[in-house]
Structure 1
Amino acid sequence: MFICFRRETMASSSQSGYFSQQEINKLQTTYDQGGLSEFATQIGKKLNDIENAKLNIAVTGETGAGKSTFINAMRGLRGCDEGAAKIGNIETTMERTPYKHPTFPNVCFWDMPGVGSLEFPMNDYVSKMEFTTYDFFIIISQNRFTENDANVAKEIQNLGKKFYFVRSQIDNAFSSSERQGVYFDRMTELDKMKQNISCGLTKAGISKPIIFLISSLSLNEFHFPQLRETLLNNLDKIKKDVLLMSLPNTTVKIVELKRAQLKERIWMLATVSAAVGVLPVPGLTVAVNLGILVAAIIGFRKSLGLDDASLQRLANVTKKPVEFLKAEVRTPLMDEINKEFVTKMLLRPGFAAVSAVEMVLDPIPIIGSIFGAASSFAMISKLLTDVLDDLVENAQRVVTVAFATDPGHPQ
């Protein structure tokens, strides 16, 4: 059983995107030498890296470009909500201002003063705004991108960092034409506008600019979905994880992406549990496993937007009663998650046998170690997989009704 356990954990680590090839080789060496404890320690460090990773995103552009509205949209907030970035038609940002995510504070959007204003001339902007501290940049314009925007992009490019051009308030541009009786295919028009912007930026010296046309008030329309996907794909695995978990659930696809990412954590949590299982200390494995499970379930719930605060923010943005959204959540996992709750879950058929074997063998040296490790791994893996599937199913229902336009759904 221990051999099977070793095979499964190593297979999981080799397929995980969280580890570099060098790290995988080191894990393999450690494992081959029989150092389960040291192997689990390295896995635990990786989990800690994921938990504590920070993501700093700079949002820059000229005054009135829609930076604050974009920052609020990415955090699932409205302009009137507590903690929202200030919105106005005059320069409201006089210094770089951090706006942390309300649920995941390690994700921080930095609202930058308008570039090129009298208060912030271009020659001082890069140093005063501390460009080296950000993971990537969003350069926003309401209409045309200017020479200042291009100069900022060149400075970012010199630092070897990613940047993206975002034309905001595209919905206003379209609705204005439609009110005047000018009708057109939106996707065709988007392509034309993007091509024109690309040509202008290329002439300004930006090679292959990455451009998105969005409305920060319509998170599933225009190029907003492509923008989210691009941001995620251009981050390393851990920072991709951090950004993904912070995204508001606006589509079923986002929920599925979160499921895939969270599923990768399960084998790591199970490995840490199994390492405790090899210690012949009565009751230690059970106590530690309960703590691991409680923290993991609460974390999964937050990541999938099923905590009370996230549901309220979603209700605010979609203008649906929060009670209506909560009615779609049909799982006992919304109750208080504590060690007593998890213990009851483990006593269900399918888990009781594994737990019983572990408790019986815990006091027995050597044999208890071998079976304890394997049973801990299996128990944690099975329970967390079941929990994740349950929460994902509920999150998908919530998203579906939240963004439904059916007249049968209350507004």
Structure 2
Amino acid sequence: MENPYDQEPIEEITEALKNNDAASAVAKVQEYLEKLDNIPLNIAITGESGSGKSTFVNAFRGVDNKDERAAPTGCVETTMEVTAYPHPNYPNVTLWDLPGIGSTNFPASKYLEHVGFEKFDFFIIISADRFRENDVKLAQEIQKMGKKFYFVRSKIDHNLRDEERSQREFNAEKTLEWIRKDCVQGLQKQGVESPKVFLISSFDLHLYDFQLLEEIMERELPAHKRNALLFAIPTINLEIINKKKEAFQAKIKYQALNSALVAAVPIPGLSIVADLGMLVVFTKQYKIGFGLDSESLQKLADSTHVPLSDLQAVMTSPLAAEIRKDVILKVISMSAVATALMAAEEGLRFIPLLGIIAAMSASYASVYKVLHDCLNMLAEDAQKVLMKALGLNTSV
């Protein structure tokens, strides 16, 4: 059965335009864009006490452990009830911090019922060392319920530091391989077939296996939920930046179509005002999605120990400043094509019939061009910032 989220409203929009009902067509476009932005994704994080569940929840959401929005962390069990932590920028994505199964009186089968397993899209089972009997029983019950689950071995940075202190000839790669092999063999002995274990440090998501975990989660999600995960995931490497860019790009045709439909209303100055407002809103979304807003940049600076001013210095586009209408006008002025199209639109809108159609075409083309340019500029800035933060060559 076709998923309703995958159904683009092209036929409905076309029918509304045939009936000369631009308002209905605008409503259809806006409804579709809102639906895309509000696809729910619910991720369950579970594991035994002290495994690092809450720290992982915070890292995934891009929230510092000391932030008031953070899941509480500590050396003792801090999660006794199912607690929802919506993503601060994408509230449709929620991470659920579950009580460690070892801290409850429920067997694995009843535990899932207790936490309300049906609402979760997948489970991440976290351990700070070997996976225990409770972890395995929980995984087996999750599998019976037809849900996906992933084993995450946390605190890898601590393990590497401990091994380096205790070994005369320390080798990070060999140590990581030994930890992975030990976890896999332990799970196999307890009856888990072909287990996949991801080695992760919540304080250094760009290292180790977080990218591989993201790729597998994305691949195994239903198609309509993949972008929800992608937008919420921290921008830890160039591949994620490119994926986010492609996802934003796919929405531009509807954002531009919305502008074109507004252009069908012959009120002086209305289209350009509406266009600028929309351009500001969508460009802000790109900036937040790439982690270029001030809060995300500060967190990146703190976690990588690169001064915030150094990260900001490599952002060379006009959009490095606060996104306002005057900034968008500056971007428009940099493109002769966009400037000409917007000027033509204003003149064409007052020519009966054919003029309105031409104005709609000009409006679509101009907004598409400006959003495309803004997206490219911010994606390039995001690449430079990430490479600077990771100490790589920032020439793109």
TM-score, normalization by structure 2: 0.87
Q: Give, in angstroms, the shift of residue 393 of structure 1.
A: 1.6
| Match for residue 387 of structure 1 among 367, 374, 382 | 374
Is the 1:76–1:314 contact (alpha carbons within 8 Å) kept by the matching residues of 2? no
- Which residue of structure 2 lines up, in the alignment, with residue 396 of structure 1? 383
Question: 1:140: Cα distance to partner?
Answer: 0.5
* 1:27 aligns to 2:10 (yes or no): yes
**Contact 1:358 1:372 (8 Å CA) reproduced:** yes
Q: 1:389 offset after TM fit, Å? A: 1.2
Displacement of 1:100 after TM fit? 2.7
When structure 1 is superposed on structure 2, of 172-181 and 214-223 the one drifting more is 172-181
Which of the residues 177, 180, 183 maps onto 2:163? 177
Q: Does residue 277 in structure 1 map to residue 263 in structure 2?
A: yes
Counterpart of 2:215? 229
How is 1:324-363 mapped onto 2 (pairs within 5 angstroms)? 324-343=310-329, 345-348=331-334, 349-363=336-350
Aligned to 1:98: 84
In structure 2, the residue matched to 1:262 is 248
Query: How far has the Cα of 1:115 moved from its partner?
Result: 0.5
Change (3 A) 1:182 1:237: farther
CA contact (8 A) 1:249 1:304 kept: yes
Structure 1 residue 237: Cα displacement: 4.1
Instruction: Write the letter of the residue equivalent to 1:27.
Output: I
Taking the aligned partners of 1:268 and 1:131, their CA distance within structure 2 comes to: 35
**Distance in 2 between residues matched to 1:84 and 1:149, nearest whole Å:** 25
For 1:300 and 1:32, locate their aligned partners in 2 and report how far apart those are by CA, in whole Å. 31
1:38-49 → structure 2 map (5 Å cutoff)? 41-49=27-35
Answer whether contact 2:350 2:356 (CA < 8 A) is retained: no
Please show how residues 54-203 of structure 1 align to structure 2 within 5 Å.
54-118=40-104, 121-122=107-108, 124-181=110-167, 183=169, 186-203=172-189
Shift of 1:313: 1.4
**Paired AA for residue 404 in structure 1:** G
The sequence identity of aligned pairs, in percent, is 39
Structure 1: which 5+ runs fail to align?
A: 1-16, 407-411
Residue by residue over 1:77-104, the C-alpha shift from the partner in whole angstroms, topping out at 9 and shown as x without a partner, is 3323332222222111111222232333
Partner of 1:372: 359
Change (3 A) 1:72 1:47: same
2:308 match: 322
5+ residue gaps, structure 2:
none
The residue type equivalent to 1:298 in the other structure is K
Question: Are 1:139 and 1:149, in contact at CA under 8 Å, matched by a contact in 2?
Answer: yes
Give the TM-score normalised by structure 1: 0.84
Higher relative contact order (CA 8 A, sep 6+): 1
Q: Which residue number corresponds to residue 295 of structure 1?
A: 281
Q: Return closer, same or farther for 1:307/1:169 CA change in 2, 3 Å cut-off.
A: same
- The residue matched to 2:103 in structure 1 has which SS? coil
- Aligned residue type for 2:113: S
Shift of 1:378: 0.7
AA aligned opposite 1:309: E
Deviations 1:97-156 (A, max 9, x none): 222323333322211111122555545422221111122111001111122112211222
Aligned AA (2:262) = V
* Contact in 2 for aligned 1:329/1:397 (Cα 8 Å): yes
CA gap 1:346/1:220 in 2 versus in 1, 3 angstroms: closer
Shift of 1:229: 2.0
Distance 1:45 1:202 in 2: 48
Structure 1 residues 251-307: Cα deviation after superposition (integer angstroms, max 9, x where no partner)? 233222221221111112112222223344444332322222121111111111111
- C-alpha root-mean-square deviation of aligned residues, in Å? 2.9
- Cα shift at 1:170: 2.4
Segment of structure 1 superposing worse, 283-292 or 27-36: 27-36
Q: Please tell me whether the aligned partners of residues 361 and 371 of structure 1 are also in contact (alpha carbons under 8 angstroms).
A: yes
Amino acid at match of 2:383: Q
* Distance apart, 1:228 and its partner CA: 2.0
Task: Determine the C-alpha separation between the residues in 2 that align with 1:361 and 1:182.
Answer: 77
Any idea what SS the aligned residue of 1:314 has? helix
